[in-house]
Structure 1
């Protein structure tokens, strides 16, 4: 009996196809099981009510000066901060715990929710310090090498998608963040803030914080 010679390449191709065909049902079953194991996405109302509202308020208007106001903040910036907290790039015992199980879709939805809320009106504190803060914010301090805040955050302090909105933020929170930048405790954002914060005096930090808090 004669034998039909088969091209070795064709033989390998047929064997590979057969193995893939046999493995396909198992792969599909594994993907299905993985999808079924993932919990459903939580609603914004559920996450805000169960986590965010306690510190930041139901609409992002935190009553305590130690927590930042989130209302009207850029959604891209908020989403980045939440991902950084979740993934360990920004350190905070509280926020790392709150964000640890947030999925990307939930983070995007939360950021869109808080950014859509209007910022409430603010009142200016010490008028004389606010005037110093305004000078620093708009002109900087050429003697110490501090640039004007407007060069990055805009004339109105509304920032960009990459840089935060500062207008109307709690002065005490601004002070804390500038201190953290100066002491290299906050490293997930623009490194230029390290050198800027290091050049500010305590009085300048206080003056800037008061002025920024009064912006709308």
Structure 2
């Protein structure tokens, strides 16, 4: 994996994610209605629309500045826990990228791992807590494994997409132990986690981007 990833490609990923969130807004809200406050899809769509508007006003020149802008916009526009969690994911990725106009597959994998660390620091979630962690962590590991094996980035991101989707699906039978869903106890079992679903959309967007 020696491909160079430009800031323009990373922006394409962000915009593709915004598109998928808009397409799935109602589905995400329905998922959240079962175990949360019924606003996750609406909040994430509002936040990503704000992100796109911010990028339309001026695209940052570096990968770090791009992801920092995305993260700060989400923190300031998305209500509930989603803003701080997804905002921190992007902010940590941005700080890991730093002021570079191109980045490598290895650096992308490292940034995604740093983003996971930010989510853990912010939300204190771990495996099988029925949160976005359960989709994000497998995706991080899948991309890291692909990088270590020397495969191409596009294949690695498809592996990460598949791992995130499997992690998303695995949240359905889980008992929620963090967040608003944890208040429901046993009633949280049998419902797919909306945060994990949104993470799966993020990795789906990456797999669909021309890296």
TM-score by length of 2: 0.25
Q: For the pair shown, which has the larger CA radius of gyration, 1 or 2? A: 1
